[in-house]
Amino acid sequence: MKMLQMKKAMSNWLKAGMLVMVTFFFVSCGSQDKKVDTSQIKVTGSIQAELTSPPHVPAPVGNREAKRVKVELEIIEEEGTMVDGSKYLYWTFGGTVPGSFIRTRVGDKVEFHLQNHPDNKLPHNIDLHAVTGPGGGAESSFVAPGKEIVFSFKTLNPGLYVYHCATAPVGMHIANGMYGLILVEPEGGLEPVDREYYVMQGDFYTEGSYGERGLQAFDMGKAIAEDPDYVVFNGSVGALNNENALQAKVGETVRLYMGNGGPNLVSSFHVIGEIFDKVYVEGGTLVNENIQTTMIPAGGAAIVEFMVDVPGTLILVDHSIFRAFNKGALGMLTVTGDENEKIYTGTQQEGIYLPEGGAIQRMPGSKEPAQEELAQNLDERLEFGKDIYTRTCAACHQQNGEGLPNAFPPVANSDYLNEDIDRAIDVVLNGLQGEVTVNGEVYNSVMPGQNLTDEEVANVLTYITHQWDNTPVEVTPEMVKAQKEKS
């Protein structure tokens, strides 16, 4: 009898214990799920926001308390270079595309001063995705040229957020470069890293085709069709290449604040030669690890982190790969330091990754060729030829004309080029495959024919023959036309 009573007591004790554990579990989960009311974070003191131009970012927030942060951002409409020879009238926040980087922490009270430069032609405003309020601030920030508007907001949610203009037509304002990033760090700040950079992708739509010379206007038809001529990092082709490349040393940790201004395309962001140790998915608090390529929607962002282990040039791309090599979405991160053969061995080539560009030159929707800018003298022919070489030839033959061993023959001091200029014209027009001997070395690769006008062929060959100890020849469009007729 006593044994039966003891068993019942033990059973009741276990049930009670389980009930306590289950209750504790649900109470605990409930307390974890309960969102902190960040609107109640106390603000102490005030500071002037440090704003930086891409690819730079302001100093980390660290452990500072929430403050009143004064942001002064000026809208500037100004002409800039999209690619060598092609100009574009950018609309900017702070004079750059993307706009100035803004760094805050959760709980800050931001006092935003939006200024529209008096030389501008259009009114603008700003929609910050970090703002909780009508239009993300757009309804409170419409400002005419020569005026300033002031509004304020509380940063409630940590994350990396896009801001952009939202004045009608909204798509046009964004497409002309009016976007940037605002970072809201969590309480206590982000973990320290050795290097931080600001990169933002955007797609541009111009009346002229890729690389067409002169000042290019925005093309609404292409924008609506989502058919960009350029997809670029930080506002232009080559903004992060060669002398503009990002820098790091072996063993350092790198954090990229990567945004996508759009206005249309989703980015498949990838760094050739690295794996992301951490990705803050869509700029939020969810962290993914060991990622090769991360999707960044138009109007979205991501934070990616990785350690660089070996020296060399890492290549930033939109892995929708024609955008990288033919429309400009390509950048570089140069890593210096000692080799580590335990991780990687092999011959490293500098400068092999360059935008290749397109060469089709027609006005959209027109049956007639675009008005082509013709060289009036040798100096102009050399200038125009350099532009063409940079965007169509340098990816293979290199900026210095030396080519790549066992792959692409040199055009610098090239006996093959200098022996027969008509043959050189034919190669540019129609391409070349099979074995050729250049400066005593045998090459067996393929060069596709270039889709260039007679004027462009003349310009680029004139430029090449006047460089790198070649025999100078002024090639004319008439010479190119005559060679076409022969071949």
Residues at the annotated binding site for Cu cation? Answer: 124, 129, 164-165, 173, 178, 319
Q: Which two tokens stand for residue 440?
A: 């005593």
- Are 211 and 285 spatial neighbours (Cβ–Cβ below 8 Å)? no
Q: 49 φ, ψ to 5°?
A: -65, 135
Query: Which element (helix H / strand E) includes 338?
Result: none
Beta partners for residue 218, in sequence order: 206
- Are 104 and 115 spatial neighbours (Cβ–Cβ below 8 Å)? no
> What is the C-alpha to C-alpha distance for residues 358 and 355, in angstroms, rounded to an integer?
9
User: What is the identity of the amino acid at 65?
Assistant: E
- Are 110 and 150 spatial neighbours (Cβ–Cβ below 8 Å)? no
- Are 325 and 310 spatial neighbours (Cβ–Cβ below 8 Å)? no
Signed CA dihedral, 333, 336, 340, 344: sign only: positive
- In a 10 Å sphere around its CB, with 0-12 CB exposed, 13-18 middle and 19+ buried, how is residue 121 labelled? exposed
> What is the C-alpha to C-alpha distance for residues 285 and 161, in angstroms, rounded to an integer?
12
> What is the C-alpha to C-alpha distance for residues 93 and 470, in angstroms, rounded to an integer?
46
> What is the C-alpha to C-alpha distance for residues 18 and 29, in angstroms, rounded to an integer?
16
> What is the C-alpha to C-alpha distance for residues 363 and 385, in angstroms, rounded to an integer?
21
**Binding-site entries:** 124, 129, 164-165, 173, 178, 319
State how far the alpha carbon of 377 is from the alpha carbons of 384, 475, 476, in Å. 11, 12, 11
> What is the C-alpha to C-alpha distance for residues 221 and 217, in angstroms, rounded to an integer?
12
DSSP single-letter state for residue 40: G
Which residue in 400, 326, 369, 372 sits closest to 85, CA to CA?
Answer: 372
- Are 38 and 107 spatial neighbours (Cβ–Cβ below 8 Å)? yes
Torsion angle (degrees, nearest 10) of CA 49, 55, 56, 61: 60
Beta partners for residue 40, in sequence order: none
> What is the C-alpha to C-alpha distance for residues 333 and 258, in angstroms, rounded to an integer?
14
- In a 10 Å sphere around its CB, with 0-12 CB exposed, 13-18 middle and 19+ buried, how is residue 293 labelled? middle
Q: 335 φ, ψ to 5°?
A: -110, 125
User: What is the identity of the amino acid at 111?
Assistant: E
- Are 422 and 428 spatial neighbours (Cβ–Cβ below 8 Å)? no
